[in-house]
Amino acid sequence: MNKVSVWISALRLRTLPIAAASIICAAGLAMQAKIFDGVIFSLSLLTALLLQILSNLANDYGDDVSGADSKMRVGPMRAMQTGQISRLEMKKAIILTTGLCLISGLSLLSVALDQHWQSWLLFLFFGLLAIAAAISYTMGKLPYGYRALGDLSVFIFFGLLGVLGSYYLYDLTFNFTLLLPASCMALLSVAVLNVNNMRDMYTDQAAGKTTLVVIWGRKTAFIYHLFLVFTAPFLAICYLMTLNNVQPWQFIILLILVPLIKSSLSLRNLIANDERKGDHFNNQLKNIALAAFVFSLLFLLVLIPIG
């Protein structure tokens, strides 16, 4: 594998749809409110994708240093784990990506906030917090991803901040009913992390990495997973019901239940058989991430004609 291919693999592009989902959801909400702006959407999407890439690179570095990415790892092989990218090279990539996040984020704020200085300060804080969260998930002396705080972080950044923050930038307005779709995307994003952690439970235990799955065990984590994936569409329906003139066809968002049910049945079998190989979990990880992305597209679709 040449160096370019190695770096593309290290970016973990397959994780980007889950980062895009909350931005797409916010775009649908903005279209429904007739405040959508293509430039704000593009810069929001770019910033979210760069933050996800930054998190991926930092996660690769942090897990390699901590020993979580040992030869016993059951997930996809990582670039540093295989020795194809050195620690120094990864550090430089993390610094470069951090710079790109800052440029993209500041450009977004310049376009969206203009002279609203209070909002500038608030979103600058949020942006720096997001960068710090992406880096410190597995890096540093106190990586919070090793202390069972990953789920909370994903809920906040991929759901609440991703949806509510993006929406606010369109028109500097906020509506508490938007907590419903924001929480919906947050729960689906946490479900992706939960599947990842169910897959890695045994290697995380060996490396001293504490996740909710390590604390609870896979069987309880599966019950938690069911709560996440089936509460999410319920919240989306609740949001639709708050709107005027909802049409029956708009409930096509419930089609998402088909892949969610299918994936849940597969996960139940994997856990019942105490599956310790990563391939089958990786398939369900991909399925849940794809389902979340498709759900965001369906949500956008059903919101466009409303109002």
**Domain-by-domain residue ranges, the chain?**
3-303
For residues 190 and 144, the model is more confident at 190
Q: What is the pTM of this model?
A: 0.91
CA distances 197 to 137, 182, 211, 229, Å, are 14, 23, 7, 15
Question: Is the CB of residue 13 less than 8 Å from the CB of residue 76?
Answer: no
pLDDT at 307: 45
Q: If you average pLDDT over residues 278-298, what whole number do you get?
A: 92
- Whether the per-residue pLDDT at 71 is higher than 60: the answer is no
- Whether the per-residue pLDDT at 194 is higher than 90: the answer is yes
Residue 199: CB atoms within 10 A of its CB come to 27
Q: If you average pLDDT over residues 50-56, what whole number do you get?
A: 92
pLDDT at 231: 97
> What is the residue type of 298?
L
CA 193 to CA 199: how far, in whole Å?
A: 10
CA 284 to CA 293: how far, in whole Å?
A: 14
Q: Which region among 28-37, 62-71, 117-126, 236-245 has the lowest average model confidence (pLDDT)? A: 62-71
Residue 32: CB atoms within 10 A of its CB come to 18
CA 135 to CA 75: how far, in whole Å?
A: 20
Question: Is the CB of residue 60 less than 8 Å from the CB of residue 80?
Answer: yes
**By three-state DSSP, how is residue 210 classified?**
strand
| Exposed / middle / buried, residue 245 (Cβ in 10 Å: 0-12, 13-18, 19+) | exposed
pLDDT at 13: 84
For residues 198 and 140, the model is more confident at 198
pLDDT at 156: 94
Strand partners, 222: none
- Whether the per-residue pLDDT at 257 is higher than 60: the answer is yes
**177: DSSP letter:** G
Q: If you average pLDDT over residues 254-279, what whole number do you get?
A: 93
Note the pLDDT tens digit of each residue in 127-142: 999 999 988 887 877 7
pLDDT at 142: 76
User: What angle (nearest 5°) sits at the alpha carbon of residue 257, between those of residues 240 and 221?
Assistant: 110
Q: How far is CA 239 from the centre of its chain?
A: 21
Of the candidates 60, 47, 39, the residue with the CA atom closest to the CA atom of residue 100: 47
Q: If you average pLDDT over residues 188-202, what whole number do you get?
A: 94
Copy the structure tokens of residue 226: 């069911």
pLDDT at 162: 94
